[in-house]
Amino acid sequence: MRYYVLKPTNDFRGLVPNTDEGWEALRRFDGRQTFSANWAPLELVHDDDTPGERSLPEADFPDVGLPNILVLSDRAKSVLGDLLSKNGELLPLSGDGKGYWAFNVTTVHDVVDLEGSEVEYFPSNPSKIMNIKRYVLKEPKVFNAHIFKVPEMDGLDILVSDDLKQRIESAGLTGLAYQEVG
């Protein structure tokens, strides 16, 4: 099975939390904890401070400026909810009068081949990974997850299966780009 790292695109309007508490809540989506028991919907607003942002179309997966979280429109949730719910939790958001959902990926797989991958380490801490520029997985066929995170990236990167990518593309959902995992 092939896998991809999800990347937001800049071709659509972004959404951002309108409070510091909202930002803090979204930053905690690291794959290690769940939030549904105490979740109160966060309000997101369009990022109209960025030049040219207002003229862009809206996306099914609006960029919120954080790589660790996937935000979905109601439309995207209806298409993908069955696959996503097996690997995390869908949490309600509100945004400019429309329904959005934060997807907290709680499935974490230790499958990165660090020797085969192209890895950048922090200069100040050479044992801590800053970025994985090119992923190589140890044994991608030994697990069956449609969406997951890897512990090496502290829950920042979100990886998806080819099946999930195909469903997103077949439904014409917008706002995502994919970097294939080698």
pLDDT digits (tens, 9 = 90+) for 33-76: 899 999 988 888 887 776 666 788 889 999 888 878 899 999 99
Q: Which residues of 120-149 are buried (b: 16+ CB within 10 A; e: fewer)?
A: eeeeeeeeebeebeebbbeebeeeebbbbb
This prediction has a pTM of: 0.86
Nearest to 4 by CA among 164, 169, 159: 159
pLDDT digits (tens, 9 = 90+) for 75-102: 999 999 988 988 999 999 987 778 899 9
Tokens for 143?
């697990």
Tokens for 55?
């003229």
